[in-house]
Amino acid sequence: MGCPSSAFTIPTQFTSIGDNAFSQCTSLTSVTIPTSVTNIGYSAFYGCTSLTSVTIPTSLTSISSYAFYQCTSLTSVTIPTSVTNIDYGTFQSCTSLTSVSIPTSVTSIGFNAFYGCTSMTLVTIPSSVTSISDGAFASCTSLTSVTIPTSLSRIDMYVFESCTSLTSVTIPTSVTSISDGAFYGCTSLTSVTIPNSVTNIGTCYY
């Protein structure tokens, strides 16, 4: 599929959006995905720097890695409840993304999923999430606070690295391990309460 200009509606005969389908379509401003589509492929909208709006249908069951990587004009996105996993790098470097709605259907957030979303001020992680991989929210420099759900037993490596505006973190008693560099470079974090449940705090290799 070639690069459309401006707004584009994907025809209803499509059931999936292939890998790199709209990659580097820098004139694409908005896209409407029909309910016939169940999957967005790898790097499908990678580098669509003018993309401000995406309508994601409730039929969607999977969003592949780097699907919206470097969509630098994308300001908000609602993930439907049919999605259970946010894959690695899905929204990496979406520098205009201010908010994201993570539904309670999601159980895992992948490596670098929201890395470098420098305009994101708030994120609500639902209690359905049992795994947040390395660097998932790293370099989210506008993020001011985060509440870690009781469904997590471990905070992985560099998850909140270089979140320079982060002032408040709530760590629940379900957490037993804080991995290497989890809060490295969080220069505004003045205090944090570590519950007695934590038996391991990692180091930092930087």
Q: Residue 58 to residues 1, 72, 90: CA-CA distances in angstroms? A: 23, 24, 18
8 Å CB contact between 38 and 14? no
> Which residue is listed with tokens 């309670």?
104
8 Å CB contact between 151 and 173? no
Quick one: CA torsion of 70, 72, 37, 5, rounded to 10 degrees? -110
- Tens-of-pLDDT digits for all 206 residues of the chain? 568 878 999 999 999 999 999 999 999 999 999 999 999 999 999 999 999 988 889 999 999 999 999 999 999 888 999 999 999 999 999 999 998 889 999 999 999 999 999 999 988 899 999 999 999 999 999 999 888 999 999 999 999 999 999 998 889 999 999 999 999 999 999 888 889 999 999 887 65
8 Å CB contact between 33 and 11? no
Residue 17: strand, helix, or coil: strand
8 Å CB contact between 70 and 93? yes
